[in-house]
Structure 1
Amino acid sequence: MESASPSPARWFRALRRTVSDSRKSSNSSLSEEVIRKSRSAFLFGKTKTLEFRVAQLEAIFQMLVDHESQFVEALHKDLHRPRFETLLSEITTVKNEARYAINNLKKWMQPAYIEKSMTSLLDVGFVQSEPVGVVLIIGSWNFPIQQVLVPMVGAIAAGNCVILKPSEVSSSAAELLNTLLSKCLDNECYHVICGGQADLMELLENRFDHIFFTGDRSTGKMVAQAAAKHLTPVSLMLGGKNPCYVDKDCDIPLSAKKIAWARFVNAGQTSLAPEYVLCHADVEDKLVENLRLCVEEFYGKNPQESPHFGRIVSVEHYKHVTELLSCGNVAFGGQTEESDKYIAPTVLLGVQESDAVMQQDILGPVLPVLSVANLDEAIDFINKKDRPLATYVYSNSSQVVSEMMSRTSSGSFCSNDSLIQSLCISLPRGGMVNSGVGAYGGKYTFDTFSHSRSFLLRNRAIECVTYLRYPPYMDKNLNLMLWASSLLHKKDGWCQII
């Protein structure tokens, strides 16, 4: 008996599954081929010489110089980002990282010799930084160039092969990276794989030697879970509710200017920016008024018309941020336009600790301001929450700054300014617990992508002491071995056996 023909709906669903399976197979094959190619190059030792690493770092630097206008254009398409912000936060940041690594790489690659006890006095002991292998770097959409290229600089400096997965949300930047990196860097060792969330999860099914992720916590958890299947070490750069305390003893106009810049740069889509302000009740009105004046000074009476103010990256994210505007009361700002993905710089008052704007990462131009009675109340408020990516304090009192430093915990800390610590190349970047795992920036990125391999080159003459370790055991031999293997304690210029 002839079987019945499938309905049009069933046929379409079957066709869609076939196309999806075909695409999945194609993407999976591409990922596997790229990883195989990278691993082969690494095992061959191609990335290990100083000369090769420096040449690739120089190529990244030159790429940024030669194609600066293209990067500016791509980020304007993705985020309506002003050229000033792109050059400062993306291009110059990566160029400085590359130049810093080039200038210091020879020193970083040198072995570090160890202190020795009597049992190793005649030996040579040292620690050598070695590359871990093939690493995966996953970037976020809010700073799509520097959040993949800064860790890539460190991974290259450490001698690894690198696979980049830029965010598909900043599609223009991702496409540009894909085009330029394939032209500028070695095609066996460095690759870009584009795609969405499903493509990322497929990619994570493969084994890597380190995974570096920048993004939201929910995706970070999925990355960590996928990495755990292969026991792959991970670095997670996540967000956090960064507190900012404004003391009554501070320069309010100047503080407001720094806070407004940090919160509203890149249309607020900065994970390191202040997420909320805790200010002394005596200065709340003055602070809010100065924030309003700063916004007008920066962007004019209508920021939507300003060439210096960006846009939200996507309609989906726009909707998320606009929902947060219903928390508390709008002190100023609050204007929105979905077709332009525009949200005005906004300050909220009367916000409750339980409101969504105080629970979720904002990543938009919205700043809640809450009043507190004193420093102790501010510190208690901060410590009730998960540890943030950064903590900020504005005060003329060194005692207030010291109290905030010692009684809070966060990925980084900055007094009397905000966000600016990210420009200090010698300081590590990264969070702790909920705001991240690991650190990067300068030498810290090199260390993240390196294995500290220990070496002990034994001198056979030391056997005159270490022969005492062999059975049959005797108390006399034990006492001599304990003496020989104990570290020396320096006290008042004299060495004493511990």
Structure 2
Amino acid sequence: MTSIDQQQIINIFQSQKSFFATRKTQDISYRIEQLKRFRTVFVQHTDAICDALMEDLGKSRKEAEYAEIQLVLDELDYCIANIEEWAQPVEVPSKPRPGGETVISKLTHQPFGVTYIIGPFNYPVQLTFSPLIGALMTGNTVIIKPSENTPTVSNVIAQIISEAFQPEYVAVVQGAIEENTLLLTFPFDYIFFTGSANVGKIVMAAAAKQLIPLTLELGGKSPCIVHKDADLDIAAKRISSGKWANCGQTCVAPDYVYVHEEVKDALILKMKAYLKETYQDQTLGKIGKIVSQHQIKNLAGYITSSSEKLVYGGHYDLNTRHFEATLMDGVNWNDAVMQQEIFGPILPFLTYTDIDEALSEINSRPKPLALYVFSENQAFADDVLNRTSSGDAEINSTLIHVGSHFLPFGGVGGSGFGKYHGKFSFETFSHLRAVLQIK
């Protein structure tokens, strides 16, 4: 990690303020040119990105290429192709004037100015570069602080940015709490944060002191409801895929399964079979690394506090930071594993017989970032979605909505606020300005 002192950080911010004041970023062709340059440099670092992700998080090449690289490229290409259209003023109806004058009303999009993007550790490339695309295509300048918990990846991110952009346009500040605390005192024009709710509150409090608009992409305990009429083979496969991706360190991973009592045992059997088939020898490391030894200890604590409920997996290695895919059965809301977002490869099972009671339990807790429901009855699935609140939702699948640049992604309530991806990023990172003209 490259060290940087306080004055250097101040200088970067001031240089970006000055550069934005030149209005060079207002030019759409400039934005497109810069994003294309970024794309070229980004692709050139594919091997370095994959190697760094393996080092920090144990991500396989296949997972890194799709979840961290291809999703960024897909969004880049989509946004580059549509910036000109999205940036055009939109004429809207006007109220007639008493004197009969001609009135023209239109909507325009303006960049905010200097923006601050705080990246997370779990998908450190995708969840840093996706909001970067939004900030740049709307004409902002950007300071990025990647996560200190993935230092190898952060170094690669810094290298990519330094090759693709001048620091007065886009710059990386590496560091931890000290650097972030300093940056949060600056009068940014917009802040975009992805991470935990606890840190999100700190970021929001700092932004509030200067009335800085922001987006918070947080997390929460995303429920996965499996009804008695669900296709259990599909449910077992798709829940497993969503849960074990990135070793469970995904903000929209199914945090727990709320399954109908009649099919609970059958579902667990199918999930065990799927895990044995997918990770045949159950060697530690098959599903990646946990980000830190501290988190390994947290996850281990969930198991030791309810060891009688462990039904599969549970092994871990503190030194290598590997943790097995783990299933816990007979869990209730008082168990430690149900008190906060797990953010690891442990999947607890709760049962219900009355969906009304299950939904009441879910609704009595903070709103999650995602909600999943498995059922072959469309009316049942729609009813569950109508009676709950979550950032986003899926029926008979998990996780894949995050990869669509046609859908807005973001939380609600305790899971955050603000939406991005594709056109929604354009709207998030720009000020919608109303313009009225009388002729």
TM-score (norm 2): 0.96
Instruction: Give CA-to-partner distance per residue, 1:167-209, whole Å, 9 cap, x none.
Output: 0001111011111211112332100000011211111111100
* 2:60 equivalent to 1:108: no
Q: Determine which of 21, 36, 55 is the counterpart of 1:77.
A: 55
- RMSD over aligned Cα, in angstroms? 1.3
Larger radius of gyration: 1
Q: Which ranges of structure 2 fall in alignment gaps of 5 or more residues?
A: none
Partner residue, 2:19: 41
For 1:374 and 1:252, locate their aligned partners in 2 and report how far apart those are by CA, in whole Å. Answer: 19
Deviation at 1:305, TM superposition (A): 5.8
Partner residue, 1:96: 74
For 2:332 and 2:385, locate their aligned partners in 1 and report how far apart those are by CA, in whole Å. Answer: 25
Partner residue, 1:391: 371
Partner residue, 1:15: none
* 2:248 equivalent to 1:268: yes
Deviation at 1:265, TM superposition (A): 0.9
Q: Determine which of 193, 201, 206 is the counterpart of 2:173.
A: 193
What amino acid sits opposite 2:355 in the alignment?
L
**Contact 1:273/1:419, CA 8 A, preserved across alignment:** yes
For 1:300 and 1:147, locate their aligned partners in 2 and report how far apart those are by CA, in whole Å. Answer: 31
> Counterpart of 1:278 in 2: which secondary structure?
strand
**Contact 2:242/2:398, CA 8 A, preserved across alignment:** yes
Q: Determine which of 66, 80, 85 is the counterpart of 2:44.
A: 66
Matched length: 433
Partner residue, 1:486: none
When residues 250 and 180 of structure 1 are mapped into structure 2, their CA distance, relative to the original with a 3 A threshold, is: same
Partner residue, 1:155: 135
When residues 305 and 444 of structure 1 are mapped into structure 2, their CA distance, relative to the original with a 3 A threshold, is: closer
Deviation at 1:374, TM superposition (A): 2.8
Deviation at 1:316, TM superposition (A): 1.5
What amino acid sits opposite 1:215 in the alignment?
G
**Contact 1:322/1:343, CA 8 A, preserved across alignment:** no
Deviation at 1:282, TM superposition (A): 0.7
**Contact 1:28/1:203, CA 8 A, preserved across alignment:** no
Partner residue, 1:419: 399
Deviation at 1:121, TM superposition (A): 6.2
Deviation at 1:149, TM superposition (A): 0.4
Q: Determine which of 254, 260, 267 is the counterpart of 2:234.
A: 254
Instruction: Give CA-to-partner distance per residue, 1:137-192, whole Å, 9 cap, x none.
Output: 00100000011100000000000000001000011110111112111123321000
What amino acid sits opposite 2:95 in the alignment?
S
**Contact 1:351/1:370, CA 8 A, preserved across alignment:** yes
Structure 2 counterparts to residues 182-331 of structure 1, below 5 A: 182-304=162-284, 306=286, 309-328=287-306, 329-331=309-311
* 2:389 equivalent to 1:430: no
Partner residue, 2:324: 344
TM-score (norm 1): 0.85
Instruction: Give CA-to-partner distance per residue, 1:65-121, whole Å, 9 cap, x none.
Output: 211111000100000100111111110111111111101000111001111122186
Structure 2 counterparts to residues 459-470 of structure 1, below 5 A: 459=439
For 1:298 and 1:106, locate their aligned partners in 2 and report how far apart those are by CA, in whole Å. Answer: 45
For 2:285 and 2:118, locate their aligned partners in 1 and report how far apart those are by CA, in whole Å. Answer: 34
Q: What is the identity percentage for the equivalent residue pairs of Structure 1 and Structure 2?
A: 35
Moved over 4 A (4+): none
What amino acid sits opposite 1:244 in the alignment?
C
After superposing the two structures, state which structure 1 stretch, 149-158 or 316-325, moved more: 316-325
Deviation at 1:327, TM superposition (A): 4.5
Partner residue, 1:30: 8
Partner residue, 1:117: 95
What amino acid sits opposite 1:39 in the alignment?
K
Q: Determine which of 336, 341, 349 is the counterpart of 1:356.
A: 336
Deviation at 1:318, TM superposition (A): 1.4
Higher RCO (C-alpha under 8 Å, 6+ residues apart): 2
For 1:184 and 1:428, locate their aligned partners in 2 and report how far apart those are by CA, in whole Å. Answer: 27
For 1:305 and 1:317, locate their aligned partners in 2 and report how far apart those are by CA, in whole Å. Answer: 16
For 1:428 and 1:354, locate their aligned partners in 2 and report how far apart those are by CA, in whole Å. Answer: 34
Deviation at 1:298, TM superposition (A): 1.4
What amino acid sits opposite 1:257 in the alignment?
K
For 2:90 and 2:299, locate their aligned partners in 1 and report how far apart those are by CA, in whole Å. Answer: 49
Partner residue, 1:171: 151
What amino acid sits opposite 1:207 in the alignment?
P
Deviation at 1:361, TM superposition (A): 1.2
What amino acid sits opposite 2:31 in the alignment?
R
**Contact 1:267/1:310, CA 8 A, preserved across alignment:** yes
What amino acid sits opposite 1:281 in the alignment?
E
